[in-house]
Structure 1
Amino acid sequence: MITWREGTVREQLPGWSGVVVVAVDTPAGETRALAYPDVVGIPEPGDRVLLNVTALERGLGTGGYAVVVALPDRPAAWPAVDAAAPGHLVKARYTPMQTMVLGVDDPEGEHHAALAEADDLAGLPVVAADLHSALPAVLAGLRLERPDANVVYVMTDGGALPAAFSRTCAQLRAAGWLSAVVTVGQAYGGDLEAVTVHTALLAARHVVGADVVVVAQGPGNLGTGTRWGFSGVSAGEALNAAATLGGRGVAALRVSEADERGRHRGLSHHSATAYGRVLARPADVPVPRGRTGRPATDECLGLVRGQVAELVGRASHLRAVDVPVDGLLDALGDVPVSLSTMGRGLAEDPASFLASAVAGRHAASLT
C-alpha cells in the first residue's frame, strides 16, 4: 500500500549532495519532501508534485520527510534519458521507481575486464556493522591509527535504497574520509554499482584499491522484535562473503548502554544472531578494553565483555580480540558528521560508538 499526497512546491530548502529538499504546500499543511534529481529532476517553486508519504504518515524513521515521486506538469525538468547509454542493472526492480545504472562489472563498463575473473581479496580487512550509524565511528577508530587509509563503504539494501539519502556519506566523502561508496543489491546511487556484496568487495579491492572496506545497510533498518526478523542479519552474510573471497572479517558489535529495550542493552541480540548464527566463517570480534572514566559506560562495556565471551564460547568460528579504548572518545568527538544512533548521540550512548570504533582500530592493525 502506498499513501499518496499532491502539493505545490513553496520553496527549496537546504539539502545535500544528490538531494534537493523542498517545502510543499498540501491540503494537509506544509510538508518537507526529498527529491532525487537523478530520478525525478529538480522541483522548483510553483511546481505541482506527487508525493509518497507512506512512511511519514506512519511516523517511521525517515527523518520526517515525504518523497517526491514525480513532477507531472514540467517534463523539461525530468532527467534526460539516453537509450544508448551503457549499463543494464535495474535497481529497485519492478517498483514504480525502478532505475537503470551501469554496474561496475557490466560488460559495457570499463571495469569488466578487471572483474571478469576476480576471485580473491588477498586478506583485505572487511568490517561489517548492523547499523548505518556505525560507519563514522568505525572510521574514527581506523583513522586514529591509519589516517591515510583508503576506505570504501559498501552499502547494502536493508535500509534506504538511494545512497544520496545518507548525509553521513556525503559529509564523509567531502571530508576525504571515504574514497568511494559502492551500492549493492537494490540500493543505488553509489560511485560504483554492484549486483552482490561479493562483486562490491572485489570492486573495492581491484578497482578502488581499498585498504579497508566497511559494509553496512543504508540509513534506516527494519526490525520486528523477533530473533530473526531484522535487516541486520546482512552483517553476518557480508562476512561470509568476505571469507569466501579470502578477506579478513571484522565483526563490529552493536552495543548500547542507553537503549530501553532489553534485547539491545549491552550486546544487542542482532549481533549475537548475525555473527553467532548467520556467520559461519572465521571472523574477529573486537571488544572494547580499558576504562573510559564514565561509570555507566564502563559498566556496560564490562557487561559486553562477558556477553562476548559467552558468544564466542558457543561459536567456534569467532575470535574475540581485546582492543583498547584509549583516545577513542576524543577521536569520536572529532568526526566530521553528527553521531547519532537510534536518536542518541555520543553523550547519550558512548558505548555504542566505542564498540564500532574499536572495530575500526582493529581493522587498521590488519592492513
Structure 2
Amino acid sequence: MLWSIPVARIAGTVVRVHVTFVLFLLWIGGAQWRVGGRDAAFDGVLFMLLLFGCVLAHEFGHVLAARRYGIRTPEVTLWPIGGIASLERIPEKPGEELIVALAGPAVNVVIATVLVVVLGVGLEGGSMAELENARAGILARVASANIFLVLFNLIPAFPMDGGRVLRAVLAMRVSHVEATRIAARIGQGAAFLFALVGLFANPMLIVIGLFIYLSASAEAQHVAFQDGAKGLPVSDVMLNPVETLLPGSTLDDAVDLLLRTAQKEFPVVDGAGRPRGVLTRDGIIVALRQGGAATPILEVMARDLPTVRDCEPLESALRLMNASRSPAVLVLGGDGRLAGLLTPENIGEMMMVRSVRPDWRFRARRTERSHLSGTRT
C-alpha cells in the first residue's frame, strides 16, 4: 500500500504502518507536551500505542477467523482512523462472513474483560479521576477504549464490522449482491450522519464518514463486478486481436502504436508469439522523459506480469489482477502463445454492457470492434 511502512510479519501477515499514523503520534505527543510537559506527552503517546496495539489485535481476530476458512490475509495496515486487514477475498457463505466480522470485536471484548475482571481496573468516571497511579490510569483508559471500539465497530455502517454483520444476516434471505447493495446504502447514509455530526463536534468524524462512504461504494461496485463475471471464461472478455511489439522495437515504434491505436498496454512478444513483457502508456511517457526515441523497449518494459489461460474463469483472472495490482493480465492460449490481453478498462466495458443486457454475447461484439479498429489503422 502506498506510503505504508512494513514493521513486522506476524503469522504470515505483513503489518504495515501508514506514514500518517507516525505523524499522528507526533501530533499527539506535541499537543500533550504543550498541555502538561514531557510526562503528559509520554503518557499520551504510550496510551495511543497501547490503543493501536488493541486495534492490531482486533484486525488479527479477523485474520485468524478468515484463515479458518482458507482465506489468506497478505497485510494489515494501521491508519490514524484504525486498522485495515486486506483479506484475499470475502467469505461467500453468510455464516462464515458473520464469524469473520464478529471475530474482531470479540478480541476487544476479551481485552476489556481481562483488564476489568482479571486486573481489577475500574471504569467509573469518579474512580478514574481519582487514580494517582499513571499506569493504572492508562489501563483504565485502554479498557474503556476497547469497550468503545466494540460499540463503534458494531454500528451497522458498511463496510465496518457491524455493516458486514448486517450484510451476512441479509444474505441469509436475499442474494449476496442485493445484501451488499442494501448494506452499502445504509453505510452511505451513516457516513452522511458522521460527517454532519463532525461539523459540530469532532472533525475526525468527517474523515471517518468520507472513508465509510467511499469504501461502501467501492465494495458495492466490487461485488457487482464479481457477480457479473460469474460463468464467463477469460476468452469472452479479453482484447483480441491486440497490437504487439517485438523485442527489437524501440520507443519510437511504441509511440507510433500509441498514437495510431486506442490501446494503452502493448505486449512485447518474441518471434514465436510468446510474451516477454508489457509496455504501458505511462511507461512510454516516463521512458521518453528519461531517454531518447531510440531506447530499446527491453530496457523499459514491465516484466513478470501475471498470465492466465484463455479457458480459465474470469473470476480467477480478476483475483490475480487485484492481488498483483498489475495494469494488465496476459492471456495465453493452449500453446503458450499470446492469445489476448485483459485490462481493467475492457473488463469495465464488459460490466457496463452486462448491467444492461446480462445475456449479451460480449465476445462477438468485442471481436467485431477489434477488427474494425484494425481496419481503421
TM range (shorter): under 0.3
Higher helix residue share: 2
Pair member with larger Rg: 2
TM-score, length-normalised on structure 1?
Answer: 0.24
Higher RCO (CA 8 Å, separation ≥ 6 residues)? 1
TM-score, length-normalised on structure 2?
Answer: 0.24
Higher strand residue share: 1
